Amino acid sequence: MKIGTPKEVFDGEARVAMTPESARMLQKLGYDCAIEAGAGVAAGFMDEAYAEAGVEVVHGAEALWRGADVIAKVRPPSDAEVGMLTADKLLISFFWPAQNGDLMQAAANKGASVIAMDMVPRISRAQKMDALSSMANIAGYRAVIEAGNNFGRFFTGQITAAGKVPPAKVLVVGAGVAGLAAIGTSTALGAITYAFDVRPEVAEQVESMGAEFVYLDFEETAKDGAESGGYASVSSPEFAAAQLAKFREIAPDIDIVITTALIPNREAPELWTKDMVDAMKPGSVIIDLAAEKGGNCKLTVMDQKIVTDNGVTIIGYTDFPSRMATQSSTLYATNIRHMMTDLTPDKDGRVNHNMEDDVIRGATIAHANEITFPPPPPKVK
Ligand code: NAD
């Protein structure tokens, strides 16, 4: 069977789902590999490198889709791409099935199988396929780099002949995968880093990374907002008020805020209000990684950088992984390769779409002419 990767059609998307390195590994599973000409260029992978790795370079999307049994891509398919699916094909990509019901129905109507990389169950065995975490890690790192690029001072404190430079103070709100990556990057750059999360169990992890956990003066901290299989749930009004009061108190002293707070299947909670922005010093920076879900900061504009009247830069970009396309393509292509390994137990270049396998079942949203989303809960942790 042949695995093909087309050039992404979403405007500005620089990532690619197959690299020369991942193609070598896919060939070891018995597959032939094909790439649309130019598909890797924006991520730094040239056609020649693919050809050297034994990948067929195909000219034109239609020829690529026609010739491949498995299509591996990054973004959900466009309507035109779904039109190129046929009953014998397997599509693997991010899909966001809950938001893209019509697209999922269209793919199912074609009889194609679809694996959504955003639906890979977050169980230990599936970590190597967890593309959400791969991308969140990059977003967290890049958020700090982007903040530094828009901040007029050093992160680390210095004593120089020309004077003493105070360290920057960074607050990371939400210490999930992206938040922890941001914390690690910020402390590595020498900033005094604070972090807050509604899940108090992350405090130890935050502190072990050299950051300071922001504790609330709130009796129920230990359980509020913390239940729900490791994910955050909605906080009580009292807890939310205590959190906002704490942020309001520290806002004038913080130079950079990186917000990453999300609650699955909900709009992002509003945690950084206009009066907090107003209280920040000119030159301060806010990077809102929750912009796509409405933003944690009241003033964030999705996909935009704005500067407020009091000189605070607020960045709501939603394409941080694409801004580091070489790194994100490498990790994503590896996640795809691991998915293909699970789908190819006999290493014979043939897909065994085993719906009894928790991970494959969980991620499959269309199979044998049927929508298979949402999946049953995974049996193992
Ligand atoms: P996420 O992107 O859904 O949320 C980001 C963070 O925001 C979370 O830590 C959440 O607690 C926090 N948050 C929500 N509301 C908040 C508020 N009001 N104030 C402050 N913080 C708030 O989370 P994620 O990065 O996808 O990961 C969350 C959980 O999933 C963690 O328990 C993590 O260990 C787990 N996880 C497991 C696996 C795996 O086992 N394969 C992989 C990734 C993540």
* Element (DSSP H or E) covering residue 54: none
Cis peptide bond upstream of 237, omega within 30: no
The pLDDT tens digits for 331-341 are: 999 999 999 99
Furthest CA-CA distance within the chain: 72
Task: Inform me whether the pLDDT recorded for 298 exceeds 50.
Answer: yes
Identify which of 198, 214, 267, 335 to mutate to test ligand 1's pocket (most ligand atoms within 8 A of the CB).
198
Annotated catalytic residue within 105, 127, 158, 236: 127
Cα 313 to Cα 325: distance, rounded to the nearest angstrom: 24
Identify which of 127, 132, 135, 177 to mutate to test ligand 1's pocket (most ligand atoms within 8 A of the CB).
177
Cα 133 to Cα 296: distance, rounded to the nearest angstrom: 20
Task: Report the pLDDT averaged over residues 350-362.
Answer: 96
Q: Is 179 near ligand 1, meaning CB less than 6 Å away?
A: yes
SS3 for 349? coil
Q: Is 261 near ligand 1, meaning CB less than 6 Å away?
A: yes
Secondary structure percentages of the chain, helix, strand, coil, to 5: 40, 15, 45
Cα 33 to Cα 329: distance, rounded to the nearest angstrom: 16
In the chain, the amino acid numbered 145 is I
Give the pairing of strands 169-173 and 364-367: unpaired
Q: What angle do CA 166, 167, 171 make, to 5 degrees?
A: 135
Torsion from C-alpha of 92, 93, 97, 102, nearest 10 degrees: -80
Residue located via tokens 């079942």? 361
Which residue has a Cα nearest atom 37 of ligand 1?
Answer: 122
Q: What is the pLDDT, as a whole number, of residue 117? A: 98
Task: For residue 149, give every residue at least 6 positions away whose Cβ sits within 8 Å of its Cβ, in sequence order, or none.
Answer: none
Q: Is 259 near ligand 1, meaning CB less than 6 Å away?
A: no
Q: Is 70 in contact with 4 (CB distance < 8 Å)?
A: yes
Radius of gyration of the CA atoms of the chain, in A = 22
CA-wise closest residue to 312 among 290, 270, 280: 280
Give the pairing of strands 113-116 and 158-160: unpaired
Q: CA of 266: how far to CAs of 179, 255, 263, 270, in Å?
A: 18, 28, 6, 12
The pLDDT tens digits for 85-122 are: 999 999 999 999 999 999 999 999 999 999 999 999 99
SS3 for 114? strand
Task: Inform me whether the pLDDT recorded for 264 exceeds 90.
Answer: no
Q: What angle do CA 75, 294, 192 make, to 5 degrees?
A: 95
Cα 316 to Cα 294: distance, rounded to the nearest angstrom: 10
3-state SS string for 275-327: HHHHHCCCCCEEEECCHHHCCCECCCCCCCEEECCCCCEEECCCCHHHHCHHH
**Model confidence at 10, in pLDDT bands (50, 70, 90)?**
very high
- Ranking 146-150, 160-164, 195-199, 228-232 by mean pLDDT, the lowest is 228-232
Q: What is the pLDDT, as a whole number, of residue 235? A: 82
Measure 293 CA to ligand 1 centroid, in angstroms: 14
Phi/psi for 152 (5° steps) reads: -85, 5
Cα 381 to Cα 376: distance, rounded to the nearest angstrom: 14
Q: What is the pLDDT, as a whole number, of residue 379? A: 72
ipTM entry: 0.91
Task: Inform me whether the pLDDT recorded for 355 exceeds 50.
Answer: yes
How many CB atoms are closer than 10 A to CB 29?
Answer: 19
Q: What is the pLDDT, as a whole number, of residue 221? A: 46
Task: Inform me whether the pLDDT recorded for 351 exceeds 80.
Answer: yes
Measure 177 CA to ligand 1 centroid, in angstroms: 6
DSSP class per residue in 158-227 = EEETTEEEPPPEEEEE--SHHHHHHHHHHHHTT-EEEEE-S-GGGHHHHHHTT-EE---S-GGGGTTTT-
Strand segments (E) across 23-144: 32-36, 56-58, 70-72, 90-93, 113-116
Annotated catalytic residue within 130, 197, 224, 288: 130
Helix (H) and strand (E) counts for the chain? 13, 17
Task: Inform me whether the pLDDT recorded for 74 exceeds 80.
Answer: yes
Average pLDDT, the chain: 95
Cα 186 to Cα 171: distance, rounded to the nearest angstrom: 9
**Model confidence at 275, in pLDDT bands (50, 70, 90)?**
very high
